[in-house]
Each structure stands twice: as structure tokens, then as C-alpha cells.
């Protein structure tokens, strides 16, 4: 058995591969890594069979070729070459004695990548439909106006900055409250970051009325995360209405389709929120005017009713007053007559009493020849009060004198 040096073996392998693959071949693979050499401009790839990772190979695109292929790929797909993308490339199999096997990429089939992206998108939509999630978030009730909301975005994203500037500087000076839940908005990190932010919002103690997912513009590849099942499911099962302003011109992403409402840009989301406030303010003003008109009509009607009642009351009161006045006059006349009669009767009674008093006046009695006897200034009313040899005072009508009791005769 012959013994080869490593160089001889590698030369033999290279010759064998050149004989087996004299021309370039189409290869389907997934990009595991994607590096552009900043010095040479060449593009270096690591390709694999995808999730199985059953096979791996290094690939390279020369600088000039890469510039042409990448520009063409971007124009045709709206996306850039990146890690995780499944591609179909035309490559020449080469084996370098020093560095080993390598694939030199000559062309890339953009239609294949477009078909692969579309296929994955359709698979996600079909899975969501099968699980009954496609229209779930659309059933969430959207308030008449949204004033307090949570935002999922990157704090440095231009779309988020545009939104906040637009909403703060609205012409109507409406006030809004929001809280930012920062998340990665592209790449595989977004598949974890965005659903986690949605979960945090739902578990927050602050009562939000809606969730806004804002990103702004970007290439199709930058936005591929929004076609993922993970983000779409998190939006679909969210207990708050979700509004997306992801900022792309192509067809709606899967996230857009399962959200409550989709808008082209974050600024468009801000316009919608402001317009809803304007609509509600207009409705309130119309209602206020209607209430004022109804109230004015009701007040006017009550005034007319009050004036009618006042006229009735005045007429009734005037009639009652006349009746009572006449009644009072009658009572006054009756009372006056009765009073005069009573006064006359009392005068007669007083005159009679006066005569009786005059008749019982001691002076009147003395004038008839009677005398009043007293002892020690005490009037004597009985002979038992007088004693023999005592002096008593005798009062008569025309004077007084003292008498001595000579004898007391008792009955």
C-alpha cells in the first residue's frame, strides 16, 4: 500500500474533485455565518443543511462578484444576505491544498430565497389559522380613544423617535401617557425580546389600553422577524389590542395580519391616535351643543309654563284676595258692632257696680246717721269688743269724738 504525504494527498483530492465537478453546481443551503472582510471586500460564508447541521462547508464570494450579486439580490428580494437565510447558489467546488475544501460562489438564485421566505410565511399563517389564533387579537375591544398605551420598540429607533415627536407636538395639544418596553426589533433576538415585552406589559400593574409595536423602515431581511410564529402568536393571544407600525411598504407581515390594526409607519399610528381623540372631542362638542339646545328649549318651555302658572296664580290669588278682603270687611263690621255692644253692656254693668259701690261706701252709710266705732284704731264690730269704762273713738259724717263706755248690753 502506497504512503502519501499530506500535500500529495490533498493534491490528489483536488484533482479528484476537479474531475468530478468540472463545472459549477447549484447548491441549496442555509447561511450559518456571514462575514465581509473589511480589507479585501471578499465575502466569507459558512453554509449548512439548516437545523440538522448534517453538513457544513465554507464558501467565498470574490469582492466584485459579491458587489454585483448582493445588489441584485437586494433589488429582487428587498432583503440582504444574512445569517439564517436559506439560499440557492451556483458555486465551483475547489480544494485548496493548504486550506482545504471551499465553494466559490458565482451566482445566487434570488427567486429561490423569495420562494423560501414565502413558504415559511405561509406555513406560519397556516399554523396560526389551525390553532385559531389568526383573528383572536382582532376581537379585542378598542376604546373610543386611546390615551394610555405601552410601546414596544428600541429607544434609539428612528421610528420610535418620530412617533414620540409627532404625538407630543400634535396641533390639538392632546395629552397622552405611554411607557416604553425596550426590545430588539430585528434578528433572532427579536423572536424572544418582543414576546417577552408583550408578557411584561400584560403582567404590569399599570392599566394600558393598547400595545403599540413600532419599528420604522428597514430592509425586508431586517423585518423577517415579524413573519415569525413566535411574535405572531404573542400578538394573537395578547389580552390587549395590538397596533403595529413596523414601517414597510411591502405586503403586510404576519404580525400585521394578526394584530388588531396595522399602520404603514409609526407616524401613521400617531396620526390615528390623534384622529381618534379629535373624533371623540367632536362628538363631545356636538353632544354638548345638543344638550345646551335641549336644555335651552326645556328652560324656555318651563319659562312659558311658569309664566302661565303665574298668571293663573295671580288671577286666582286676586280673586281669593278680593273674597277674603270682603270677608275680612264683613268680619270687621261684625266684630266692631259686637265690640260696641259689649262695651255698652260693660258700661251699663260698670255703672250698676258703681252705684252698688257708692251705696256700700262707709261715708254714704255715715251720712245716713250711722257712726263708726274704733278702739286703738281698730274698728269695733261687736259689743263684745267694748268694755265698761273704756274710751272708744266715734266717727260720724261731720267729725270724730271720744266716748266713755258706761254700760255694755249684750243680746
| Gap between the Cα atoms of 109 and 86, Å rounded | 11
Phi, then psi, of 232 in degrees rounded to 5: -60, -40
Ranges of each domain in the chain: 6-108, 122-134+145-278, 366-404
| Gap between the Cα atoms of 204 and 198, Å rounded | 10
Fold of 6-108: OB fold (Dihydrolipoamide Acetyltransferase, E2P) (2.40.50)
CATH of domain 122-134+145-278: 3.40.50.2300
pLDDT at 151: 97
Tallying the residues shown for the chain, one arrives at 411
Name, in order, each residue with C-beta under 8 angstroms of 403's C-beta and a sequence gap of 6 or more. 391, 392, 394
The structure's pTM equals 0.59
Name, in order, each residue with C-beta under 8 angstroms of 273's C-beta and a sequence gap of 6 or more. 145, 146, 149, 167, 176
Whole-angstrom distance between the N-terminal and C-terminal Cα of the chain? Answer: 200
pLDDT at 313: 82
Comparing CA positions, the residue from 126, 306, 356, 78 lying closest to residue 232 is 126
| Gap between the Cα atoms of 170 and 168, Å rounded | 6
SS3 for the chain is CCCCCHHHHHHHHHHHHHHHCCCCEEEEEEEEEEEECCCCCCEEEEEECHHHCCCEEEEEECHHHHHHHHHHHHHHHCCCCCCCCEEEEEEEEEEECCCEEEEEEEEECHHHHHHHHHHHHHHHHHHHHHCCCCCCHHHCCCCCCCCEEEEEECCCCHHHHHHHHHHHCCCCCCCCEEEEEECCCCCHHHHHHHHHHHHHHHCCCCCCCCEEEECCCCCCCCCHHHHCHHHHHHHHCCCCCEEEECCCCCCCCHHHHHCCEEECCHHHHHHHHHHHHHHHHHHHHHHHHHHHHHHHHHHHHHHHHHHHHHHHHHHHHHHHHHHHHHHHHHHHHHHHHHHHHHHHHHHHHHHHHHHHHHHCCHHHHHHCCCCEEEECCEECCCHHHCCCCCEEEEEECCEEEEEECCCCCCC
| Gap between the Cα atoms of 228 and 224, Å rounded | 7
pLDDT at 221: 64
C-beta of residue 164 within 8 angstroms of C-beta of residue 193: no
pLDDT at 250: 58
| Gap between the Cα atoms of 194 and 207, Å rounded | 19
| Gap between the Cα atoms of 79 and 75, Å rounded | 8
Comparing CA positions, the residue from 203, 205, 202, 245 lying closest to residue 223 is 245
pLDDT in tens, the chain (411 residues): 778 788 878 888 888 887 888 888 999 998 888 899 999 999 999 998 876 667 888 999 999 999 999 998 888 877 778 887 888 999 999 988 888 888 999 999 888 877 777 788 889 999 999 999 999 999 999 998 899 999 999 998 888 999 999 999 999 999 999 999 999 998 889 999 999 999 999 999 889 999 999 997 666 667 888 999 999 999 999 999 999 998 765 557 899 999 999 999 999 999 999 999 999 988 888 888 888 888 887 888 888 888 888 888 888 878 888 888 888 888 888 888 888 888 888 888 888 877 777 766 776 777 677 777 787 878 877 777 777 878 888 778 788 878 777 787 776
Amino acid at each position: 500500500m502506497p504512503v502519501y504525504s499530506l500535500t500529495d494527498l490533498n493534491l490528489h483530492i483536488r484533482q479528484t474533485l476537479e474531475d468530478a465537478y468540472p463545472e459549477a453546481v447549484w447548491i441549496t443551503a442555509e447561511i450559518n455565518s456571514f462575514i465581509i472582510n473589511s480589507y479585501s471586500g471578499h465575502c466569507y460564508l459558512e453554509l449548512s443543511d439548516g437545523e440538522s447541521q448534517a453538513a457544513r462547508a465554507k464558501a467565498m464570494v470574490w469582492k466584485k462578484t459579491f458587489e454585483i450579486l448582493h445588489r441584485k439580490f437586494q433589488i429582487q428580494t428587498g432583503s440582504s444576505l444574512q445569517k439564517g437565510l436559506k439560499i440557492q447558489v451556483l458555486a465551483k467546488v475547489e480544494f485548496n491544498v493548504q486550506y482545504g475544501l471551499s465553494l466559490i460562489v458565482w451566482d445566487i438564485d434570488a427567486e429561490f430565497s423569495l420562494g423560501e421566505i414565502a413558504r415559511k410565511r405561509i406555513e406560519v399563517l397556516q399554523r396560526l389559522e389551525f390553532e385559531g389564533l389568526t383573528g383572536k387579537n382582532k376581537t379585542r375591544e378598542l376604546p373610543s380613544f386611546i390615551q394610555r398605551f405601552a410601546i414596544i420598540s428600541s429607544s434609539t429607533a428612528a421610528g420610535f423617535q418620530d412617533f414620540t415627536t409627532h404625538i407630543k407636538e400634535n396641533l390639538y395639544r392632546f395629552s397622552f401617557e405611554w411607557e416604553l418596553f425596550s426590545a430588539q426589533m430585528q434578528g433572532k433576538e427579536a423572536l424572544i425580546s418582543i414576546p417577552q415585552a408583550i408578557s411584561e406589559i400584560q403582567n404590569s400593574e399599570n392599566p394600558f389600553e393598547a400595545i403599540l409595536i413600532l419599528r420604522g423602515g428597514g430592509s425586508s431581511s431586517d423585518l423577517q422577524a415579524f413573519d415569525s410564529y413566535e411574535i405572531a402568536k404573542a400578538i394573537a393571544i395578547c389580552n390587549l389590542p395590538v397596533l403595529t407600525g413596523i414601517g414597510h411598504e411591502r405586503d403586510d407581515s404576519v404580525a400585521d395580519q394578526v394584530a388588531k390594526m396595522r399602520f404603514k409607519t409609526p407616524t401613521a399610528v400617531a396620526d390615528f391616535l390623534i384622529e381618534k381623540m379629535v373624533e371623540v372631542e367632536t362628538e363631545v362638542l356636538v353632544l354638548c351643543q345638543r344638550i345646551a339646545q335641549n336644555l335651552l328649549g326645556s328652560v324656555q318651555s318651563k319659562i312659558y309654563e311658569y309664566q302661565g302658572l303665574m298668571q293663573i296664580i295671580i288671577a286666582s290669588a286676586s280673586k281669593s284676595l278680593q273674597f277674603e278682603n270682603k270677608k275680612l270687611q264683613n268680619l270687621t263690621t261684625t266684630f266692631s258692632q259686637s265690640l260696641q255692644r259689649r262695651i255698652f253692656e260693660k258700661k251699663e254693668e260698670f255703672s250698676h257696680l258703681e252705684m252698688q259701690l257708692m251705696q256700700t261706701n262707709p261715708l254714704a252709710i255715715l251720712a245716713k246717721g250711722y257712726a263708726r266705732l274704733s278702739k286703738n284704731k281698730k274698728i269695733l264690730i261687736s259689743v263684745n269688743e267694748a268694755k265698761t269704762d273704756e274710751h272708744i273713738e266715734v266717727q260720724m259724717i261731720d267729725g270724730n269724738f271720744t266716748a266713755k263706755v258706761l254700760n255694755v248690753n249684750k243680746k
